[in-house]
Structure 1
Amino acid sequence: MASNKVLSVAVDFGTSCSGYAFSFQHNKENIKTSSWAGGDYIKAPTSILFNPQKEFDSFGFEAEDKLAELSKTGTHKDWYLFKQFKLVLMKENKLSRSTVINDVSGKQMLAMDVFSAGIKFLKDTMLTTLRIQSMIIRDTDIQWVLTVPAIWDDAAKQFMRLAANKAGIPNESLMLVLEPDAAAMSASCFSMLAEGEKCMILDCGGGTIDVSVMKKNSRGSVDCIYRPTGGVWGGTKVDDAFQEFLLTHFENDRFQSMKQHEILLVQRSFESAKKKAQEPSAVNVRIWLPITIRTDIDQLPIRQSIVGDKLILDIDQVVPLFQKPVRSIVSHLQNVVIEPEVSGLKYIIMVGGFSESKILQSEIQNSFPSIDVLVVEDPSSAVLRGAVVLGHDPKIIESKRSAYTYGIEVISHFRERYHDKSKLTVIDGETKCKDVFDKVMEINETIKINETKVEKIYGPSQFGQKSCTLAIYRSKNVNPSYVTDSGCELIGQLRVDMPDLTGEKNRQVAVTTCFEETELRAEAVDKTTGRKYTASFEFLGY
């Protein structure tokens, strides 16, 4: 089923870089992308600058350059520059609306304010582009698509949805799609598959590596045949390795004295060096170093590699910087391809900015000689372009696989031969079993998008109860018995309103859940009256 929206707009808010793309329903193949730095880049660095009053100032290259200029005169210290902060949504154990994050100098702001400011900038810039082209379109005609890593949990997805809402994108106009799913929809990926063929989408971004395995069905759409997997092995790990290299060969005090504009120039110089190192004819690379680092180095072994203001590294010194993330990626893929569902894999299709790395490409090709490894044209924009396609035709992906076993904590009637005696409790004179894991969805279970509904019957435990709050757990195990079992994790709550007291404790409310693209949705119906009630998930703060 195609979307009834006039315009599909995708926003890729990445760890390293961000951008947007769009196309109109009447000409949906004509996808336009964002343009930065005079048209040289489709994506801009995900760098956001706030003034001392914590008000948004600028984004991308402009944000980095402005803080660099301020640092030359020492007037930058009260400003806030945030870079590579997206990974906090994975690293934060208890992500909430009040989570704070550090800027490059350690100063803190609310993560929600930082994320929403970045999304709002991309949204407003895109709308300005339309106005400049004299295109008038109503807000209700736009389908917004926000891409998220496949390995994100429900709390991180909910956080991004709320950040987008705060940025001015209403819920009813917003889809969240997984990055590798979006990448698979770019024309070069999707059209090459024949019916029954399987492909792995390997989305290698700056922060995360996301893996999705798909199979083309007889209806021309695709099914995700293996649960989403991945890890934090993106291109920024190469940058981290370079920083460790510098710290190993220079005193830490030298780095502490570097000014912000010097740090920025070293980072940009290394970014160019990474690309140069992967050219077939490359023998060495040159990385600019500020005078702060390269003076008085007579006693350092690295002095022989410094000529003028450049650090000159042989290729065999640069390649090891890639080894740790590359090995992690290959090892993960080796574990995935041996799974029964993935047997007979035809293609590994590489997308994302890190997929441009010749070192990574070579390792994957050598590790999987019987599988065709393909790198799409312009891999850094594949997610953006594919997300636009999904905005027009969300039903292209018909089914997914659950990443976890999900369940609700319930109290049930105690059965002597079945339940653990330690779980016995007495409520209103009745013998009950507590901590029961009532399974809603099983790990790797096939889920029809927007169609599969799991109905569970719940009721009040007390007289006069007008709402019911159910604890949601997840596990990597197939059949947990109790929410206290090893591997079970509390991830949120499902709140169900039941204001009609007819029947009191004998009331029954049917709660149905389904997957809407990437997120869980719930509905509740009173089995006696037929009334529909509000049911909502809350994953933040657990």
Structure 2
Amino acid sequence: MFRSDTIIQPLSVKEDSSVLVTLDIGDTYSGFAYTYTKEYLEDEWTIHMNDPWVREKHMTHKTCTTLLLEPHGEMKGAKYGYEAETDFAGKFLDGCHAEYLLFRNVKQEFYKDGVNFDAMITDVNSGQEKPLCDILLALLTFFREKALERVRKRFDAITENDIFWVLSVPSAWKQETSLLYRDLAIESGIPFRRLRLVTEPEACLAYVMQFIRIKVSPDGRAKISNKISHFDARVMLLDLSGDAATLSVHRVSGDKTFKMVFQTRSHKKGSSQVNDQFLLFLSNLIGEDIIRTLKKDYIDDYMAMCDEFEMRKREIKPGTSGTELFSFKLPYQIEETFKEQYKTEYVTITQRIKEKSVYRDRVRYDGSRLHVEISVLKDLFNIVLDKIEVYIRNVLQMAPCARIASFMLVGGFSESKLVQAGIKKRFPEMEVIIPETPELAVMKGSVMLAMNHEIRPPTPVSGSYQKEKEQTIISSVCTVL
């Protein structure tokens, strides 16, 4: 293991024969992006992704941050991402899943105080413990190898000595945590002198600023312009991920740099919370005990149901009529479990819905598929969006957040058209800027930042704020123009 006490130096990647790869290991989803420097210098939008990750009939730019280990925690034969989820479901059906270790949302453990090389993490299936660093090292190694495989497939003359690496880190982490993370990346096989760190807000900001330029008008409100003004301004970046909302404020300086002056992170305000609301909705329809039994005894069906909703909810558009139906197939085991547990009370699920559920007039069940009015699903989104609004407005009352010029929206949850419309509706007084593919802001922004600008080590925020359940994070100065 390497020592975490080395100052991070700028990368020099503007070589015609080099490739730059960035790894984004996220709380919920992960992936990588890369560019061939010769191509990038000709066209800065030439940033490549992996081939789409496939989960049944769905294809995504990222795969889930999941790791499945053999019984007793053997790393040999481990499965990653969607393959891990699918393989675990198959083992469950075969009745041989009990001793396998399934890890999800590993990176969230690094937000905890006092995390170190000796920290342990418990898997979600068998309750066994493994060293946290071993699990994260396995994930870093997997994505490094997948990136190498993809780069070599596209550029067959490239060797590892031609590749530079950038690793994005949350600025919520303390510097020692970021360096611990860097050490794990080095142990995964990335050369020390070809690896640099960049904070996620910096990367997102660099990505967004490729689409817009800020010009401050006399009344202090931001206008989108093709050129950046030399006047000071403040922009807010809202990164909505699977589990959290991270909000940062950046000051535009006269020397064309951004400096982060404030940041907080608030959990339970991301895409996963819409999924949680959907499970509560199903519990109201057919019984909380039915959903609990499904999760406990038929976890493969439970996971498949949650994954299906995760993908399908992205189809909901703000302009869709509220009375239009959203059809969703329920696992067969729900029907069987219902018959077993409610055989003396209700004849069918439809009967229970009519007699007990507050959604009785907005839902129809035909024996296999649930048909729900779109207005119900919009209500589930609104519960989460209302919490995000309160969070943002509380932050806007703080001194560093005065004179906000623009509001930038990134992150996987921001891909939802319903979320985009909801944020705009809740903040009509602000200019909300949403780039293309906001879920790729960290990956593509990391490439842009490393290719165009000096990457500087993070430094503590002076006069930081901290509120309950929110963490004030590190900031750095980065040139974006």
8 Å contact kept, 1:116–1:164: yes
Cα shift at 1:384? 0.7
Distance between the aligned counterparts of 2:328 and 2:174, measured in 1? 38
State the AA in 1 paired with 2:117: R
User: SS of the residue aligned with 1:206?
Assistant: coil
1:49 to 68, 84, 101: 68
Deviations 1:425-470 (A, max 9, x none): xxxxxxxxxxxxxxxxx324xxxxxxxxxxxxxxxxxxxxxxxxxx
Find the counterpart in structure 1 of residue 357 from structure 2: none
Find the counterpart in structure 1 of residue 415 from structure 2: 356
Find the counterpart in structure 2 of residue 222 from structure 1: 258
User: SS of the residue aligned with 2:184?
Assistant: helix
1:18 aligns with 2:30: yes
Distance between the aligned counterparts of 1:169 and 1:42, measured in 2? 23
8 Å contact kept, 1:234–1:354: yes
TM-score normalised per structure 2: 0.76
Question: Structure 1's 51 and 36: CA in aligned 2 closer, same or farther, altered over 3 A?
Answer: farther
Distance between the aligned counterparts of 2:92 and 2:31, measured in 1? 27
8 Å contact kept, 2:318–2:418: no
Deviations 1:76-104 (A, max 9, x none): 222222223322222x3432222222323
1:185 aligns with 2:219: no
State the AA in 1 paired with 2:26: G
1:79 to 84, 96, 100: 100
Question: Structure 1's 275 and 146: CA in aligned 2 closer, same or farther, altered over 3 A?
Answer: same
Cα shift at 1:166? 2.7
Cα shift at 1:111? 1.5
8 Å contact kept, 1:98–1:111: yes
Deviations 1:407-440 (A, max 9, x none): xxxxxxxxxxxxxxxxxxxxxxxxxxxxxxxxxx
Question: Structure 1's 223 and 245: CA in aligned 2 closer, same or farther, altered over 3 A?
Answer: same
1:287 to 308, 313, 328: 328
User: Which deviates more from structure 2 when the two are superposed, residues 319-328 or residues 111-120?
Assistant: 319-328
Residue correspondence of structure 1 range 348-497 to structure 2 within 5 A? 348-395=407-454, 402-403=460-461, 442-444=462-464
8 Å contact kept, 1:49–1:63: yes
8 Å contact kept, 2:238–2:247: yes
Question: Structure 1's 370 and 476: CA in aligned 2 closer, same or farther, altered over 3 A?
Answer: closer
Distance between the aligned counterparts of 2:70 and 2:182, measured in 1? 25
State the AA in 1 paired with 2:294: F
8 Å contact kept, 1:222–1:399: no
Question: Structure 1's 292 and 312: CA in aligned 2 closer, same or farther, altered over 3 A?
Answer: same
8 Å contact kept, 1:145–1:391: yes
8 Å contact kept, 1:50–1:81: yes
Distance between the aligned counterparts of 2:69 and 2:394, measured in 1? 43
User: SS of the residue aligned with 1:395?
Assistant: coil
Distance between the aligned counterparts of 2:477 and 2:89, measured in 1? 41
State the AA in 2 paired with 1:27: E
Find the counterpart in structure 2 of residue 8 from structure 1: 20
Find the counterpart in structure 2 of residue 459 from structure 1: none
Give structure 2 stretches of 5+ with no counterpart.
Answer: 1-8, 215-227, 355-359
User: SS of the residue aligned with 1:65?
Assistant: helix
- Count of aligned pairs between the two proteins: 412
Cα shift at 1:141? 4.2
Find the counterpart in structure 1 of residue 234 from structure 2: 198
Find the counterpart in structure 1 of residue 395 from structure 2: 336
Question: Structure 1's 339 and 202: CA in aligned 2 closer, same or farther, altered over 3 A?
Answer: same
Cα shift at 1:356? 2.0
8 Å contact kept, 1:210–1:228: yes
Distance between the aligned counterparts of 1:375 and 1:342, measured in 2? 20
TM-score normalised per structure 1: 0.68
User: Which structure's CA Rg is the greater one?
Assistant: 1
Distance between the aligned counterparts of 2:93 and 2:27, measured in 1? 27
Question: Structure 1's 376 and 323: CA in aligned 2 closer, same or farther, altered over 3 A?
Answer: same
8 Å contact kept, 1:199–1:213: yes
User: SS of the residue aligned with 1:117?
Assistant: helix
8 Å contact kept, 1:12–1:384: yes
Find the counterpart in structure 1 of residue 109 from structure 2: 88
User: SS of the residue aligned with 2:106?
Assistant: coil
1:35 to 51, 69, 79: 51
Deviations 1:473-517 (A, max 9, x none): xx959xxxxxxxxxxx9xxxxxxxxxxxxxxxxxxxxxxxx9888
User: SS of the residue aligned with 1:97?
Assistant: coil
Question: Structure 1's 187 and 359: CA in aligned 2 closer, same or farther, altered over 3 A?
Answer: closer
1:319 aligns with 2:378: yes
Residue correspondence of structure 1 range 110-121 to structure 2 within 5 A? 110-121=131-142
State the AA in 2 paired with 1:205: S
8 Å contact kept, 2:234–2:249: yes
State the AA in 1 paired with 2:52: W
Question: Structure 1's 269 and 279: CA in aligned 2 closer, same or farther, altered over 3 A?
Answer: farther
Question: Structure 1's 335 and 400: CA in aligned 2 closer, same or farther, altered over 3 A?
Answer: farther
8 Å contact kept, 2:11–2:196: no
Distance between the aligned counterparts of 1:111 and 1:171, measured in 2? 22
Question: Structure 1's 108 and 246: CA in aligned 2 closer, same or farther, altered over 3 A?
Answer: farther
Question: Structure 1's 316 and 281: CA in aligned 2 closer, same or farther, altered over 3 A?
Answer: closer
User: SS of the residue aligned with 2:189?
Assistant: coil
Find the counterpart in structure 2 of residue 262 from structure 1: 301
Cα shift at 1:140? 4.8
Cα shift at 1:377? 0.8
8 Å contact kept, 2:25–2:31: yes
User: SS of the residue aligned with 2:390?
Assistant: helix
Identity of aligned residues (%): 25
Question: Structure 1's 399 and 166: CA in aligned 2 closer, same or farther, altered over 3 A?
Answer: closer
8 Å contact kept, 1:200–1:211: yes
Deviations 1:367-391 (A, max 9, x none): 3222211211111111110011122
Question: Structure 1's 134 and 402: CA in aligned 2 closer, same or farther, altered over 3 A?
Answer: closer
Question: Structure 1's 244 and 99: CA in aligned 2 closer, same or farther, altered over 3 A?
Answer: farther
Question: Structure 1's 515 and 265: CA in aligned 2 closer, same or farther, altered over 3 A?
Answer: closer
User: SS of the residue aligned with 1:87?
Assistant: helix
Q: CA RMSD in A?
A: 3.1
Deviations 1:273-306 (A, max 9, x none): 3123335225232232222212325366337643
Distance between the aligned counterparts of 1:181 and 1:321, measured in 2? 31
Question: Structure 1's 209 and 189: CA in aligned 2 closer, same or farther, altered over 3 A?
Answer: farther
Residue correspondence of structure 1 range 116-155 to structure 2 within 5 A? 116-154=137-175
Find the counterpart in structure 2 of residue 276 from structure 1: 315
User: SS of the residue aligned with 1:281?
Assistant: coil
Distance between the aligned counterparts of 1:170 and 1:208, measured in 2? 32
Bigger proportion of residues as helix: 2
